[in-house]
């Protein structure tokens, strides 16, 4: 029963994140998806459909896109872009490698968009990946879908009268995360470092970790103002206060699970202790359920503890 429950969680999340359901199921699922635009001012929009939230900047230089959801949605996404922009996508930023943020690369790349991402995004998309938390393999992407410009720390674009900073955050949701700041418009796109209002997925098998997520969100908070509009990787459009609450929750989770790891509790014992009970009502209703949140953070912090032990041993 326990195993069955866990498999069900895994299958559901795989479908959400990795586009891993059979073709017929995908078609059916994506057929019903509508792309909705939220106007954030200064020619910038948040587009939502299925998968990671999209950021769009429009203006005299052409459409500038942050993430692109799943390939079967590309035509609908292009139609939504065309409502706001006379020109197609010139630059496409990937906030990280996951398929619910890069699935459309294959189509936008074929249209001539210049795809830009942290170097580890190209590296992971070029080779078969293994998602530890879901025990799942992901095939390499075709060449046309790969970022053709990569960076290590940050890269700045001057487009549509915006200074657009794309800033790498190390070992957060993955090892290739970047967040995007449209400076003049005061709009942030935080990718999957930020799941607004729900527990986040942290891909520990791709070099992610909760300490990196907290550090990255803190970095974003430091440049936020009361007026900053914040596009999360998943969830509703957010503001500075939402970001502050999220960081507070993650720090609590980190402290609670960290204490269990220090006490020597294994993953099953930690789950049985129901350590996040006080937080679950508010944060546990997204696609990362309380049990999986405990397992992911436990695995992450156990690794950290082992690394520490390794260091002291040498």
- Min CB(96)–Zn ion separation in Å: 6
Beta strands (DSSP E) in 160-279 are: 162-169, 177-182, 187-189, 229-231
Given the complex with Zn ion, which of 167 and 288 has the nearer CB atom?
Answer: 288
| Residue from the set 68, 175, 186, 192 that interacts with Zn ion by CB under 5 A | 192
Given the complex with Zn ion, which of 17 and 157 has the nearer CB atom?
Answer: 17
Interface with Zn ion, residue 67, by CB under 5 A: no
- Min CB(203)–Zn ion separation in Å: 6
As a whole number of angstroms, the distance between CA 226 and CA 239 comes to 7
Instruction: Give Cα 170 distance to the centre of its chain.
Output: 13
As a whole number of angstroms, the distance between CA 101 and CA 211 comes to 22
Interface with Zn ion, residue 229, by CB under 5 A: no
Given the complex with Zn ion, which of 186 and 192 has the nearer CB atom?
Answer: 192
Given the complex with Zn ion, which of 40 and 131 has the nearer CB atom?
Answer: 131
> Which of 136, 175, 183 is CA-nearest to residue 156?
183
Given the complex with Zn ion, which of 43 and 200 has the nearer CB atom?
Answer: 200
> Which of 240, 180, 173 is CA-nearest to residue 206?
173
Stretch binding Zn ion (CB under 5 A), from 3-11, 54-62, 95-103, 177-185: 95-103
Q: What are the tokens at 222?
A: 């430091």
- Min CB(208)–Zn ion separation in Å: 9
Q: What are the tokens at 74?
A: 């590309």
Q: Are 62 and 85 in contact (CB under 8 A)?
A: yes
- Min CB(30)–Zn ion separation in Å: 18
- Min CB(175)–Zn ion separation in Å: 12
> Which of 124, 136, 147, 143 is CA-nearest to residue 19?
136
Given the complex with Zn ion, which of 98 and 261 has the nearer CB atom?
Answer: 98
Q: For residue 312, what is the enclosing H or E element? A: helix 290-313
Interface with Zn ion, residue 98, by CB under 5 A: yes
Binding site for Zn ion (CB under 5 A): 98, 192
């Amino acid at each position: 029963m326990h195993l069955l429950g866990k498999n069900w969680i895994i299958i559901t999340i795989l479908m959400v994140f990795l586009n891993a359901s059979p073709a017929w199921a995908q078609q059916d699922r994506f057929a019903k998806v509508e792309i909705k635009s939220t106007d954030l001012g200064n020619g910038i929009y948040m587009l939502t459909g299925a998968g990671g939230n999209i950021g769009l900047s429009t203006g005299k230089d052409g459409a500038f896109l942050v993430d692109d959801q799943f390939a079967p949605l590309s035509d609908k996404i292009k139609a939504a872009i065309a409502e706001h922009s006379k020109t197609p996508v010139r630059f496409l930023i990937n906030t990280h490698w996951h398929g619910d943020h890069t699935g459309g690369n294959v189509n936008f790349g074929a249209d001539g968009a210049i795809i830009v991402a942290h170097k580890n995004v190209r590296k992971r998309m070029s080779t078969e990946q293994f998602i530890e938390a879901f025990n799942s393999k992901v095939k390499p992407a075709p060449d046309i879908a790969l970022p053709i410009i990569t960076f290590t720390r940050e890269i700045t674009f001057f487009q549509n009268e915006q200074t657009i900073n794309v800033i790498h955050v190390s070992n957060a949701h993955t090892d290739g995360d970047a967040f995007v700041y449209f400076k003049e418009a005061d709009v942030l796109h935080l990718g999957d470092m930020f799941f607004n209002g729900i527990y986040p997925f942290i891909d520990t098998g791709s070099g992610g970790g909760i300490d990196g997520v907290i550090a990255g969100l803190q970095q974003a908070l430091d440049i936020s103002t009361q007026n900053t509009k914040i596009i999360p990787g998943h969830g509703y459009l957010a503001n500075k206060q939402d970001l502050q609450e999220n960081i507070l929750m993650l720090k609590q989770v980190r402290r609670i699970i960290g204490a269990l790891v220090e006490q020597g509790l294994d993953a099953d014992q930690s789950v049985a202790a129901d350590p996040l009970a006080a937080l679950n009502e508010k944060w546990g209703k997204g696609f990362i359920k309380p049990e999986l949140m405990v397992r992911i953070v436990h695995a992450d912090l156990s690794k950290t503890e082992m690394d520490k032990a390794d260091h002291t041993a040498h």
